[in-house]
Amino acid sequence: MAKTSIPTVDLSPFFTKGDEEGKKKAIKIIGHACSEYGFFQIVNHGVPVDLINRALKLSKTFFDYPSEEKLKSSPQPGGPLPAGYSRQPERSADKNEFLLMLPPGSSHNVYPSNPPGFRELLDEIFSYLVKTGSLIESLLNDCLGLPPNFLKDYNNDRKWDLMSTFRYFPATDMENTGVGEHKDVNCITFVFEDEVGGLEVKKDGEWISVAPTQGTLVVNVGDIIQVLSNNKFKSASHRVVRQQGRNRHSYAFFYNLGGDKWVEPLPQFTKAIGEPPRYRGFFYKEYLQLRLRNKTHPPSRPEDVISLAHYAIPT
């Protein structure tokens, strides 16, 4: 495994006045991280550390309940996504279970009634992460040299954001994969995890272990940013490796894109600089459906798994 780590960015200059040098430094680090790693960590990000710690504590309490209690929060039929408590299909039931949440106020959310205060906490941390997503989006906008508020105006529908809290079961003697190698389909993802860790990022063919640090958020850019930037920023492969003898708890927040949005390389990274587009355009919801099919109807051959390469233009 590569003996390195993903970059860390201090966002405190964006919550105070006057520290222009600090802002420039942060933007420079983010730009480098997105082009080289696709991942970085942020500290002093505006999400209260106490809230993060309580979120992990309450999710552990919830997942420790008997199955019959957790199943009371099962998804409602007919919803757009299985919001509520779910466990992986039986063929992989020893890997993880999760609680999926749509934006607060969604009629499809199924909140656990226990532990006390969990619902309110989920709503609160969801709202904080939306704000953090907006900040990171604006910084990516600056890193890419796009017109002011370009990404904000383009990605202006927050109804598609998602948040999940996970419990990964301990590794077995036969298998330790919590989530296999993959790339995120969305714009920006935030992750925070307990002390067990397990998140790994692939760079130059080597796996980098992301050591969990209290109060730190891990950030990665997804496929949409890679397409818009015409490969200037990368959507990096990552996975979760389980430890033996220990459960892993984590949260993932997906700062998404409206399904009706058209996605293609921006002219700033093609025509304006004489570069050919690396991808043909597509509607985001169509790509989501193809990626979902990978899970609901897994192809028999690995080469048939749909990824961003489905839209790549041969060079």
Name the pLDDT band for 305 (thresholds 50, 70, 90): confident
pLDDT at 93 over 70: no
pLDDT at 117 over 60: yes
pLDDT at 90 over 50: no
Q: What confidence score (pLDDT) does residue 307 get? A: 87
Name the pLDDT band for 292 (thresholds 50, 70, 90): confident
**Span 96-100, average pLDDT:** 95
- Residue ranges in the chain assigned as alpha helix (H): 20-36, 49-63, 67-70, 118-143, 150-154, 223-228, 284-296
Q: What confidence score (pLDDT) does residue 174 get? A: 83
Structure tokens at 308: 């961003």
Name the pLDDT band for 125 (thresholds 50, 70, 90): very high
Q: What confidence score (pLDDT) does residue 136 get? A: 98
The alpha-carbon radius of gyration of the chain (Å, integer) is 19
Quick one: 155 exposed, middle or buried, by C-beta within 10 A (0-12, 13-18, 19+)? buried
Higher pLDDT residue, 16 or 139? 139
The candidate with the shortest Cα–Cα distance to 38, out of 281, 225, 241, is 225
Q: What confidence score (pLDDT) does residue 255 get? A: 98
Pairing of strands 217-221, 262-263: unpaired
CA 224 to CA 263: how far, in whole Å? 7
Q: What confidence score (pLDDT) does residue 46 get? A: 97
Q: What confidence score (pLDDT) does residue 94 get? A: 60
Q: What confidence score (pLDDT) does residue 1 get? A: 42
Q: What confidence score (pLDDT) does residue 206 get? A: 94
Pairing of strands 8-10, 39-43: parallel
Q: What confidence score (pLDDT) does residue 297 get? A: 73
Q: What confidence score (pLDDT) does residue 2 get? A: 44
Cβ pair 153, 80 in contact under 8 A: no
The candidate with the shortest Cα–Cα distance to 165, out of 72, 238, 256, 70, is 70
CA 155 to CA 228: how far, in whole Å? 12
Q: What confidence score (pLDDT) does residue 89 get? A: 57
| DSSP, residue by residue, 218-249 | EEEE-HHHHHHTTTSS----EEEEPPTT--EE
Name the pLDDT band for 4 (thresholds 50, 70, 90): low
The candidate with the shortest Cα–Cα distance to 107, out of 81, 85, 86, is 81
Could you tell me the CA-to-CA distances from 280 to 226, 237, 266, 312 in Å, in that order? 13, 21, 11, 6
CA 106 to CA 124: how far, in whole Å? 14
Neighbours of 19 (CB within 10 A): 14
pLDDT at 205 over 80: yes
Is this model's pTM higher than 0.85 or not? yes
Mean pLDDT across the chain: 93
Q: Collapsing DSSP states into helix, strand and coil, what is residue 148?
A: coil
Q: What confidence score (pLDDT) does residue 79 get? A: 82
Q: What confidence score (pLDDT) does residue 250 get? A: 97
CA 183 to CA 294: how far, in whole Å? 13
Q: What confidence score (pLDDT) does residue 18 get? A: 84
| DSSP, residue by residue, 185-197 | SSSEEEEEE-TT-
pLDDT in tens, 126-183: 999 999 999 999 999 999 999 999 999 999 999 999 999 999 999 988 888 888 899 9
Q: Collapsing DSSP states into helix, strand and coil, what is residue 101?
A: strand
Task: List the end-to-end C-alpha distance of the chain, in Å, as a whole number.
Answer: 32
Q: What confidence score (pLDDT) does residue 3 get? A: 47
What are the sequence ranges of the domains in the chain? 8-311
Cβ pair 293, 305 in contact under 8 A: no
Q: Is residue 263 within a helix (H) or strand (E), and if so which, with residue range?
A: strand 262-263
Class of domain 8-311: mainly beta
Q: What confidence score (pLDDT) does residue 301 get? A: 76
Cβ pair 46, 129 in contact under 8 A: no
Sign of CA dihedral 101, 105, 110, 114: positive
pLDDT at 92 over 70: no
